[in-house]
Amino acid sequence: MDSYKLTATQVLDKYKSDELTVEQYAESLLARVRSRDPTVKAWAYLDPELVLARARALDQLPKDKRGPLHGVAIGVKDVIYTKDMPTAYNSPIYDRSFPKVDAASVQILRNAGALIFGKTRTTEFAATVVGPSTTNAHSAKRTPGGSSAGSGAAVGDLQVPLALGTQTGGSTIRPGSFNGIYALKPTWGAISREGQKLYSLILDVLGLYARSTADLDLLAEVFDLHDDEASLFQGVKGAKFAFCKTPNWDHAGEGTMNALEKAVSLLRSHGATVEELVLPEAFDKVTLWHEIILAGDGHAAFLPDYRTNKAQLDQFLQGHAERIAGWTRKQQLEAFDGIANLRPVIDEIAGRYEAIIVPSVPDEAPEGLEYTGSAIFNSMWTALHTPVVNIPGFKGANDMPIGLSLVAPRYRDRHLLKVSQAVGEIFEAEGGWKRDKI
């Protein structure tokens, strides 16, 4: 049985019906890794014996003691602590570092019965755009995106059904688009960041990867994401959406332009009302404000390693510590306060619609592994703290996947997932890109 192909919800169904054991499932995944990872290189650390030992232990649990993620494999980005695996941040400074404690997110997953499979590759400290050796799940010649390179590639390549990423700019949504999978950047602060490397207190979030919205919803339940009010969404027909090119539309390539146009057409053909949204002029500054906050918070984050291990620190991160960008404290405060003032504004605007459709990326994944791609279409939503879901289904000129994002008001994550499921079914069926070539 090729159980590695199953989504998380499908795996759980197999366990419940006694058609599959966790050990059999783990063996299938490990065989997939042996076959594919010499090319994809998604894993910074993976111990097959540890995986199998944990799988056997999970198989011994009686059914009434099993958690909601019992035996479901999940990859963990290598900036997130795991007590039984090293956490190196893709940095020579922390090579073979072993904190021996779980991050809050990993604690929650273990408690839910998840099979913590291994550590996925990242750019250095999840903070640079210089790629690791990981390749795109659909082309060894293209980047998987970053900084959550290994997590996006591992899920896209069917090596695990779920993975954790992080996002400070576009580090969850961009790899989701490039690898043709679903990705959730939840509302800022909705999931604890304790035990993961911080770049920016104001921007960092934990990100989630899956190959279906049902799997994302499963994770959302485990992490206790909840809205104050139940979603009233009843399907695409009769629903109201907006599409927003954002102030950064001049960075869009042909693939993203075509994807957005097709998405609007598809939703309208399924009975939705879709109108163009042009954001108020004040939002034109958000991308710059994000950059200013990143530089300021990055100075504080990387100053300790700069002071003790400068020679082993990436030059871009050295620049943060040295304040090369030159932003003043006054400009920092303007960025903090300006974005804070716009958060309730975007909540009100987004609340007029079931969701706002926006670009996930400029185009399909760039060729080469040296550069993980631009976060130009992600950073404003990161700064505004809104939940975002990347939905696959479209393709570029080279038949590589291109996703689009749905945005909702803060703390409307479960509503957004409900909408994403309906929209995703349409985009995947009719958008033009299929993942079945893997």
Residues designated catalytic: 77, 147, 171
| Among 393, 430, 378, 402, CA closest to 142 | 402
Return the beta strands (E) in 224-371 as ranges.
Answer: 240-243, 273-276, 355-359
Q: What single letter denotes the amino acid at residue 289? A: W
Task: Work out the number of other CB atoms within 10 angstroms of the CB of residue 389.
Answer: 30
Distance (Å, whole) CA 71 – CA 55:
7
CA-CA-CA-CA torsion for 204, 205, 210, 214, nearest 10 degrees?
Answer: -160
Contacts of 228 (CB under 8 A, 6+ apart): 411
Report residue 195 as tokens: 């035990």
Residue type, 320: H
Helix (H) or strand (E) holding 394: strand 388-395
Looking up tokens 């997953």, which residue turns up?
109
For tokens 């034109």, the residue is 284
Q: Is 325 exposed, middle or buried (0-12, 13-18, 19+ CB in 10 A)?
A: middle
Q: Which residues pair with 405 in a beta bridge?
A: 358, 390
